[in-house]
Amino acid sequence: MSDTIFGKIISGEIPSEFLYEDDHCIAINDISPQAPVHVLVIPKRGIPRLVDATDDDQALLGHLMLAAGRVAEQLGVADSFRLIVNNGAGAGQTVFHLHLHIIAGRTFAEGHMAG
């Protein structure tokens, strides 16, 4: 767990609708969506940034990718979605509890990943 907004959501201190939950992660709608589908996949273990993950987190990181795929299927966007991890404030990370953004429901141009 972490002392961030996501830690409080996972612990239930801040009520939130979970679109998906298993032993290791949850998925919730982003409060400020950047696309018609904007979902956050959040590990229950509070790793601040991707670079803070260690070898002990290897299985968890793989699990998050698989969970993101399952959530995309559940949301009906399995054929077209983007997965984003912001690492560090300079990259736009604002909540220092690792999370994956699933972005879908809009057009993605080839060769234009940033933005």
Does the footprint of ligand 5GP cover residue 51 (CB under 6 A)? Answer: no
Does the footprint of ligand 5GP cover residue 94 (CB under 6 A)? Answer: yes
Give me the amino acid identity at 30: D
Active site residue 112: no
Closest CB to ligand 5GP among 50 and 60? 50
The active-site residue out of 38, 97, 99, 101 is 99
In the complex, the smallest distance separating the C-beta of residue 76 from ligand 5GP, rounded to whole angstroms, is 20
List active site positions: 99
